[in-house]
Amino acid sequence: MEAEQLKGTQAKIKAFEAKKEALMSMGGEKMITKQHELGKLTARERLDLFFDKGTFQEVQLFVKHRSTLFGLDKKDINADGVITGFGKVNGRTVFTAAQDFTSSGGSLGEMHARKIWKIMDMALDARKPFVSMNDSGGARIQEGVPALDGYGGIFYRNTIGSGYIPQITAIMGPTAGGAVYSPALTDWVFMIKKTSYMYITGPDVIKAVIGEEVTHDDLGGAVAHATKSGVCHFATENDEDCINKLKLLLSYLPDSCHNPLPLVSCSDSPDRECPELDGIIPDKASRGYDMKMVVTAVADNHEIFEPHEMWAKNMLVAFIRIMGQTVGVIANNPKFGAGVLDVNASDKASRFIRFCDAFNIPLLTFSDVPGYMPGTKQEWSGIISHGAKLLHAYAEATVPKLTVVTRKDYGGAYIGMCSKYLGADYVMAWPSAEIAVMGAEGACNIIYRREIASAEDPAAKRAELVALYESQFNNPYFAANMGIIEEIIAPRDTRKRIATLLDALKDKAEVRLPKKHNNIPL
Ligand code: HXC
């Protein structure tokens, strides 16, 4: 009797294992080959690369769709086209949903969405990062409105989880229509050159509606979104590169807003001098230099990780570590457009600042900014509102905020780059700093217009007045005398000073007025 029972149980286990194996084969050999021919990995292969070996735990593999329309009653879709679960990435728990294009195009139906809801809810309850790997033809057309509602539930979770756990999307295939909005609601969007695209309406619709002709890639490929729209933060080369960079980003982030920042062991001394910075400011004020070299010089082991590398290059944002702990850097980059503030630069910096503040990442600002970009293009694009985002983001941030003025720091842009009264905890300036309402030439043209025009030698008079203005304002001493900057430092001491200050400010607690939430000028 017992032996017979055992036989029955073993048969059940065997049947279970066979079912499981069938489900795990996803869209089958033919579709997998097609996926590989497109230069893409399958969802399972991606998860194998992403998670530490043997740590991935799949959730809800047996979920099936329950749709009966348009022949779906006769169609099995393994795992309903999405693999959900959790595992360890470099030893830390991460939750994920990976759509599998080989199973009915990874199309999102009701149950597919419910699997994603479940894993997002688990991530939120567990207070761990959520990574979505998207490779899908979008809403499952045969299912109709339950599929659309599936997206609604994802957007809802993206939103209530915003600022609570880090949320990252990797676009690893097509993403069209409203499906683009979950990625846009997450903190970070990765794309893959040539094999991924995102758009609200595709090339065919665009041609039919407005007669414009454009390819998929030009319209919504990784390079388009990394250089033109700014929708993509990281344009990667292929699936492997994308997954490696996902892991790198995660290494800088805490599990949630309630967890400490990751601490990496650091052999780079906090006292390391950066003598290369003493010679970085060009003799001529009109010459640019690469602010990335400054950021790299001060960072632990000279390592920086830069989102939006190809978009709004006049503003640089980056994660670095100081004494092994994550710091968010915001810096004007005079190498591009003199480091001017414009609509895109303001948006790029504001979003980065808000992300860092949400996750308790201290802010380090390097300022070398001639002002806001003038002209109708910027005014009519709303530089007033976009620039205001930057002010709002800095002022509302309660993390430690350090500012280093390397050279120009003029006008409204001076205020906008985390000046003292916008809320910086500590402002430092290099001896090359110029802090004023505007540059000497422009200022003299306005305040000495009459004196210059009526002078015997207007050019000589102009030069004399410019020199006078420069001696007054083109240095950090006026601001230091007023206590507007705390310290003038030699460039070579910048890392040392930052390390000391971050250590001193690590327990900073700033309390804000009790209210529901701010109303950032979006
Ligand atoms: C159901 C879909 C599907 C979809 C793809 N498939 N997209 N099934 N609903 N949305 C299925 C195909 O029928 C096919 O099934 C399999 O996936 C592979 O698709 P192919 O077309 O053979 O692949 P390919 O030639 O590579 O073309 C990929 C594609 C194309 C460009 C993505 O599939 C496509 O245009 N799909 C529809 C895209 C779309 O318009 N989606 C709706 C967007 S609107 P079989 O059984 O043959 O293997 C939307 C609204 C969301 O998503 C709103 C949220 C608020």
Residue identifier of the C-alpha nearest atom 32 of ligand 1: 137
The tokens describing 435, both together, are 């802090």
Over residues 38-57, mean pLDDT: 97
- Residues 252, 355, 426, 514: is their CA dihedral positive or negative? negative
Other CB atoms within 10 A of residue 334 CB: 25
Every domain of the chain and the residues it spans? 17-252, 275-439+475-504, 440-473
Pocket-testing residue among 34, 104, 108, 110, ligand 1, by greatest number of atoms within 8 A of Cβ: 104
What percent of the chain clears pLDDT 90, i.e. is strictly above it?
89
Q: What is the distance in A from the centroid of ligand 1 to the CA of 136?
A: 7
Q: Give the tens place of pLDDT for each residue, 131-178.
A: 999 999 999 999 999 999 999 999 999 999 999 999 999 999 999 888
Give the pLDDT band of residue 1 (cuts 50, 70, 90).
low
Does residue 35 contact residue 101 with C-beta atoms inside 8 Å?
A: yes
374, pLDDT greater than 80: yes
Q: Please say if 178 is a catalytic residue.
A: yes
6, pLDDT greater than 90: no
Q: Please say if 299 is a catalytic residue.
A: no
Q: What's the fold here for domain 17-252?
A: 2-enoyl-CoA Hydratase; Chain A, domain 1 (3.90.226)
What percent of the chain clears pLDDT 70, i.e. is strictly above it?
100
Q: What is the pLDDT of residue 77?
A: 93
Please check whether the two domains, 17-252 and 275-439+475-504, share a CATH topology. yes
Q: Closest ligand 1 atom to the C-alpha of 202? A: 40
Superfamily of domain 275-439+475-504: 2-enoyl-CoA Hydratase; Chain A, domain 1 (3.90.226.10)
Residues whose beta carbon lies within 6 Å of some atom of ligand 1: 104-105, 107, 137-142, 148, 151, 174, 176-179
User: Which is the catalytic residue, given 297, 413, 479, 499?
Assistant: 413
User: Which is the catalytic residue, given 153, 163, 178, 382?
Assistant: 178
Does residue 255 contact residue 210 with C-beta atoms inside 8 Å?
A: no
Q: Give the tens place of pLDDT for each residue, 203-228.
A: 998 999 999 999 999 999 999 999 99
Supply φ then ψ for residue 25, to 5 degrees: -75, -5
Give the pLDDT band of residue 440 (cuts 50, 70, 90).
confident
User: Which is the catalytic residue, given 412, 423, 442, 455?
Assistant: 412
Residue identifier of the C-alpha nearest atom 37 of ligand 1: 137
Over residues 353-367, mean pLDDT: 98
Pocket-testing residue among 35, 82, 107, ligand 1, by greatest number of atoms within 8 A of Cβ: 107
Q: How far is the CA of 67 from the CAs of 64, 71, 267, 496, in angstroms?
A: 9, 9, 58, 63
Q: Tell me the HSE value of 371 on the side-chain side, using a 13 A CA sphere.
A: 11
324, pLDDT greater than 70: yes
Q: How far is the CA of 514 from the CAs of 511, 517, 518, in angstroms?
A: 9, 9, 10
Residue 342's contacts (CB-CB under 8 Å, 6 or more residues apart) are: 312, 314, 372, 373, 378, 383
The bridge status of strand 57-59 relative to strand 82-89 is: antiparallel
Q: What is the pLDDT of residue 441?
A: 85
Q: What is the pLDDT of residue 418?
A: 97
The mean pLDDT value of the chain amounts to: 95
The tokens describing 477, both together, are 């001493």
